[in-house]
Amino acid sequence: MRRGSEDGVYDCVIVGGGIVGLATAYRLTEAQPGVSVAVVEKEPAPARHQTGRNSGVLHSGIYYQPGSLKAVMCRTGRDSMVAFAQAHDIAHDVCGKLIVATDDSELPGLHRLHQRGTENGLKVELMVPAQAAEYEPHVNCVAALRVPSTGIIDYVAVTETLARILSDRGVELRLGTEVVDLTSDGHGERVVTTDGELTTRFLVTCAGQYSDRLARLGGLDPEVQIVPFRGEYFELRPEKHHLVRSLIYPVPDPAFPFLGVHLTTMIGGGVHAGPNAVLALGREGYRWRDVNPAELAETLRYPGFWKLAAEHWRSGLDEMVRSWSRQRFARSLQRLVSDIEADDLIPAPAGIRAQALRPDGGLVDDFLLIEDTRSLHVANAPSPAATASLEIGRHIADRAIDGLRRVGAVDN
Ligand SMILES: Cc1cc2nc3c(=O)[nH]c(=O)nc-3n(C[C@H](O)[C@H](O)[C@H](O)COP(=O)(O)OP(=O)(O)OC[C@H]3O[C@@H](n4cnc5c(N)ncnc54)[C@H](O)[C@@H]3O)c2cc1C
């Protein structure tokens, strides 16, 4: 039986009802069924931000530096996510994907990815155009890499299932409740919300766009700032769905952690094209007209932003032009599938990547978790964190259990 928070102190409070926060609560209550847990989410429902506005891809782990948290957790996380989807009847499809070199200049990059995939323990296959065409008859390439373990899933359905299981396990989901301050005293960490205060023996924050702020409120310096990069999508009009069978990706630019606009079939039907990467004018600025002056000023005051801009101004400008011009967006897609026209593109909702940036202008590539004895803050959880969420959650839950052991709240 779950111990309640009758003494007014939770064993663990988790801030953020995205997929990482809920996966953490899921792993924690799986490993320690007796602990009292509350998840605090400012929106009226889970998955309203990155988790509900992404490409819906189950990544294989091909891209990431071998040994990095991303490489390890993406691979194991993909397997856990597929097993979770099977156990709970969540629609998914391990359909595989093609990464395509569209001219000879991209061949070295494609071969590097082949090498990296092999180093990461994946089954990957280099293909000539005729072989690639057996999987994607309309693809345009000089060579391709097929990654059979990539798939698609609905992460909102995953998050809703997690929320249902947590509710059955007695976890309190406090929706529509924003955390506005964090302090500590002799009893534990105090979580000040728009709906009163909670006290917890261990605090976890998985706050996406606001992760750096919450870490600072909690007294830790993440040494990074979140810079919001919007990813805009289009849908292909139904008459053109036949042009894409599964997933078609370009060879990514190694200077960026983003994968380049790609074509993705969605588990609920349809084909998505995108996302690009433009600076959002607020951490939740999903359209150009959504400007948050204070948050924009915060980005523009940050030295790391100007160092990044100085180094990558040309590609930044290209991305902006592509954001304003459907023709330019279509041209990027035509490199992958020539028969896509600008008129085939219907605007779809955008997502915003919470990307941690260092003061020297370096984009933090790996997952970044910072902790002290009574708290852990997720400071960077970009793609493939949805794929990896059940493994990130397991890792954080282990750290929380260590913290609870130290104060005698769970047995050794
Ligand atoms: C355009 C795009 C495409 C992507 N594609 C993929 C993909 O195909 N596959 C993949 O694996 N990953 C993908 N990702 C990455 C993936 O979506 C994220 O890594 C993942 O969803 C992060 O989950 P999260 O729970 O950390 O963050 P979020 O989903 O952003 O959740 C954070 C939550 O914290 C809440 N919160 C913030 N501040 C407070 C506060 N003060 N009080 C209370 N609540 C608060 C927010 O409301 C939010 O619900 C993509 C991301 C984007 C943006």
| 146 confidence band (pLDDT: 50, 70, 90) | very high
Cβ burial of 45 (10 Å; 0-12, 13-18, 19+) is: middle
Q: What is the pLDDT of residue 80?
A: 98
Residue 369 CB–ligand 1 contact under 6 Å? no
Mean pLDDT, all residues of the chain: 95
Match 């100085």 to its residue by tokens: 310
Q: What is the pLDDT of residue 254?
A: 78
387 contacts 51 by C-beta, under 8 angstroms:
no
Tokens of 304: 């790391």
Residue 50 CB–ligand 1 contact under 6 Å? yes
Q: What is the DSSP string of 282-325?
A: STT--STT---HHHHHHHHH-HHHHHHHHHHHHHHHHHHHHHH-
On the question of pLDDT at 196 being above 50, the answer is yes
Residue 48 CB–ligand 1 contact under 6 Å? yes
Bridge-based pairing of strands 196-205 and 9-15 is: parallel
On the question of pLDDT at 4 being above 70, the answer is no
Residue 385 CB–ligand 1 contact under 6 Å? yes
Ligand 1 centroid to Cα of residue 153, in Å, is 15
Residue 232 CB–ligand 1 contact under 6 Å? no
Residue 21 CB–ligand 1 contact under 6 Å? yes
Ligand 1 centroid to Cα of residue 395, in Å, is 18
pLDDT-above-70 percentage for the chain = 98
Residue 355 to residue 352: CA distance in whole angstroms: 9
Q: What is the pLDDT of residue 24?
A: 98
Q: Which atom of ligand 1 is nearest to the CA of 231?
A: 1
Residue 202: enclosing H or E segment and its boundaries?
strand 196-205
Residue 45 to residue 17: CA distance in whole angstroms: 8
Residue 352 CB–ligand 1 contact under 6 Å? yes
Give pLDDT tens digits for 205-226: 999 999 999 999 999 999 999 9
- The domain limits of the chain are 9-50+156-224+366-406, 226-357
pLDDT-above-90 percentage for the chain = 91
Q: What is the pLDDT of residue 1?
A: 36
On the question of pLDDT at 2 being above 50, the answer is no
Q: Which atom of ligand 1 is nearest to the CA of 40?
A: 43
Residue 204 to residue 223: CA distance in whole angstroms: 18
Residue 116 CB–ligand 1 contact under 6 Å? no
Q: What is the mean pLDDT of residues 344-373?
A: 96
Residue 231 CB–ligand 1 contact under 6 Å? yes
Give pLDDT tens digits for 112-137: 999 999 999 999 999 999 999 999 99
Q: Which atom of ligand 1 is nearest to the CA of 74?
A: 11
Residue in 191, 172, 230, 223 with CA at minimum distance from that of residue 354:
230
Residue in 217, 207, 179 with CA at minimum distance from that of residue 195:
179
Eight-state DSSP code of residue 274: E
Atom 27, ligand 1: residue with shortest CA distance: 208
Ligand 1 centroid to Cα of residue 303, in Å, is 25
Q: What is the mean pLDDT of residues 71-92?
A: 98
Q: What is the mean pLDDT of residues 6-13?
A: 87
Q: Which of 13, 54, 57, 355 to mutate to test the pocket of ligand 1 (most atoms within 8 A of CB)?
A: 54
Fold of 9-50+156-224+366-406: FAD/NAD(P)-binding domain (3.50.50)
Q: What is the pLDDT of residue 253?
A: 84
9-50+156-224+366-406 and 226-357 agree in CATH topology: no
The dotted CATH code for 226-357 is 3.30.9
Tokens of 45: 């429902």
* Lowest model confidence (mean pLDDT) among 185-189, 242-246, 280-284: 185-189
- Convert 308-319 to b/e letters by CB count within 10 Å (16 or more is b): beeebeeeeeeb
Ligand 1 centroid to Cα of residue 119, in Å, is 28
Match 């990467």 to its residue by tokens: 277
Bridge-based pairing of strands 188-193 and 179-185 is: antiparallel
Q: 80 by DSSP, 3-state: which?
A: helix
CA 6 to chain centre: 35
Ligand 1 centroid to Cα of residue 52, in Å, is 8
